């Protein structure tokens, strides 16, 4: 079965109503420390979609307050084309209309702004009540797309990101905004073609870019994802020093593969860089079966010019997350979602990256979780906390917000919030605590 076969049915089907509901029913007990907003983005096409990845963005949010679920609401991100269907996503030359992305992939907060992201366009600013403010270009300084996976350095408060897909060189550029939201670094990244660069990695000292063999396919524009697998492009990792971005990128060859998402990366005392990623053998390769993504470790040795590649788990998993207060450091625990079909049992996995141990929360058959976001319980990075995820119940055709104890993921949920409507399968989100 291909993605297009099931994308508009079951948990992938869009919802048609924007709702607001108050005082949601809760099973169990919500920790009173959980006071803030859980927001998650995903595609919710208003018309038939050529691929699950496409369609107008819709953010689903739950407001938790001192032990109660105060409200749920869902809102489309109203980009340029939302009320103007004639507004183009792609220009005649294949380049993107940067003010008209679908804003359907992620939600992040930086320098007081909440941004809905898709990698093909500028961010769209929204309020925490999910109303659209409009496109955001860092005060006119950004004339490029912005990755849906920016990284916030917990030590400096800087926002690191890149844009890719320019039809003319440079095809990729690295950017950095300071803690106040001012764009302070723009550095071209030299890649030989129009590669699809979805994510990257950040350590305390480096940014690492993925130049992988999924490349722009002009014939696919307007017919789903305009990228396909290349048997000849090659694969490599690019290492950029954060303290000297103008010095450029050093490239190291790896085996051909594709990576949508990075769990984390860190520097070691002996000068190496360790990355944990969800790796696929190939992606968007016509005539080849869809591979499973599994957790891998890449160890980059800049002195030797080598990359060691090790698979850590053979279980299919995606949507890796950590305690974001440890981004770029040697984090011990990572969380991944192992979603299965409605006839199988899905799970959330907690990987101990130091020992190799894995704990698993297994959901009942037909209950399918999305990405699980870590929310800290105290001021200790890597310590106690909760995992929050939307869970689709295929039998009931409904969705819940499920709260798990991150230090005891195998236990029953701490709390389950019943939502007033189904949340379609989607992508990424964040917890936004009260200031």
Instruction: State residue 289's pLDDT score.
Output: 93
Domain layout of the chain by residue ranges:
3-433
Distance CA 289, CA 307 (A): 27
CATH class given for the domain over 3-433: mainly beta
Instruction: State residue 222's pLDDT score.
Output: 57
Spans of the chain, pLDDT less than 70: 1-7, 50, 85-95, 220-224
For residue 183, give the nearest of 110, 264, 240 by alpha carbon: 110
Instruction: State residue 93's pLDDT score.
Output: 65
Instruction: State residue 1's pLDDT score.
Output: 31
Going from the C-alpha of 380 to that of each of 267, 368, 375, the distances in angstroms are: 21, 30, 12
Q: Give the list of residues 6+ apart from residue 400 with CB closer than 8 angstroms, or none.
A: 390, 391, 393, 416, 417, 418, 419
Instruction: State residue 5's pLDDT score.
Output: 40
Asked if residue 428 belongs to a known ligand binding site, the reply is yes
Going from the C-alpha of 62 to that of each of 72, 128, 375, 402, 431, the distances in angstroms are: 4, 10, 14, 11, 10
Q: Residue 5 is inside which H or E element, if any?
A: helix 3-6
Q: Tell me the two tokens of residue 263.
A: 């769990």
Instruction: State residue 3's pLDDT score.
Output: 40
Asked if residue 351 belongs to a known ligand binding site, the reply is no
> Which residue in the block uniquely carries the two structure tokens 């992938």?
12
Asked if residue 106 belongs to a known ligand binding site, the reply is no
Print burial letters for 209-237: b (CB count within 10 Å at least 16), e (below 16): bbbbbbbbbeeeeeebbbbbbbeebbbbb
- E strands along 323-369, which residues? 333-338, 347-352, 358-362, 367-369
């Amino acid at each position: 079965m291909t993605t297009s076969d099931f994308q508009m049915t079951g948990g992938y089907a869009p919802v048609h109503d924007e709702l607001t509901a108050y005082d949601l029913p809760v099973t169990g007990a919500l920790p009173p420390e959980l006071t803030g907003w859980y927001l998650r983005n995903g595609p919710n096409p208003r018309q038939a979609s050529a691929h699950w990845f496409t369609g107008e963005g819709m953010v689903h949010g739950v407001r938790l307050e001192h032990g109660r679920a105060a409200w749920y609401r869902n809102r489309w991100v109203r980009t340029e084309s939302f009320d103007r269907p004639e507004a183009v996503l792609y220009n005649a030359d294949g380049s993107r209309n940067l003010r008209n992305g679908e804003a359907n992939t992620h939600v992040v907060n930086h320098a007081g702004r909440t941004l809905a992201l898709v990698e093909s366009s500028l961010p769209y600013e929204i309020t925490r009540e999910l109303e659209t403010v409009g496109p955001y270009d860092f005060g006119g300084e950004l004339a490029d797309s912005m990755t849906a996976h920016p990284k916030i350095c917990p030590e400096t408060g800087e926002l690191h990101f890149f844009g890719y897909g320019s039809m003319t060189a440079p095809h990729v550029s690295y950017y950095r905004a300071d803690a106040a939201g001012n764009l302070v670094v723009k550095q071209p990244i030299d890649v030989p073609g129009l590669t699809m660069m979805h994510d990257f990695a950040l350590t305390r000292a480096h940014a690492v870019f993925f130049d992988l063999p999924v490349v722009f396919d002009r014939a696919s524009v307007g017919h789903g994802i305009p990228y396909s697998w290349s048997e000849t492009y090659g694969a490599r990792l690019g290492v950029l020093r954060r303290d000297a971005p103008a010095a450029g990128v050093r490239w190291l060859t790896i085996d051909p593969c594709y990576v949508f998402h990075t769990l984390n990366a860190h520097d070691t005392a002996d000068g190496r860089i360790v990355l944990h990623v969800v790796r696929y053998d190939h992606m968007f390769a016509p005539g080849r079966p869809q591979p499973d993504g599994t957790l891998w470790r890449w160890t980059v040795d800049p002195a030797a010019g080598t990359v060691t590649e090790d698979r850590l788990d053979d279980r299919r998993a995606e949507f890796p997350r950590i305690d974001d207060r440890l981004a770029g450091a040697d984090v011990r625990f990572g969380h991944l979602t192992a979603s299965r079909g409605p006839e199988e049992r899905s799970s959330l996995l907690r990987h101990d990256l130091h020992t190799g141990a894995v704990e698993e929360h297994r959901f009942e058959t037909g209950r399918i979780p999305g990405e699980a976001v870590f929310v800290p319980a105290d001021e200790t990075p890597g310590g106690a906390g909760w995992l929050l995820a939307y869970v689709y119940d295929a039998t009931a055709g409904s969705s819940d917000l499920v709260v798990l104890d991150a230090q005891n993921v195998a236990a029953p949920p701490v709390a389950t919030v019943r939502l007033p409507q189904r949340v379609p399968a989607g992508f990424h989100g964040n917890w936004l605590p009260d200031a």
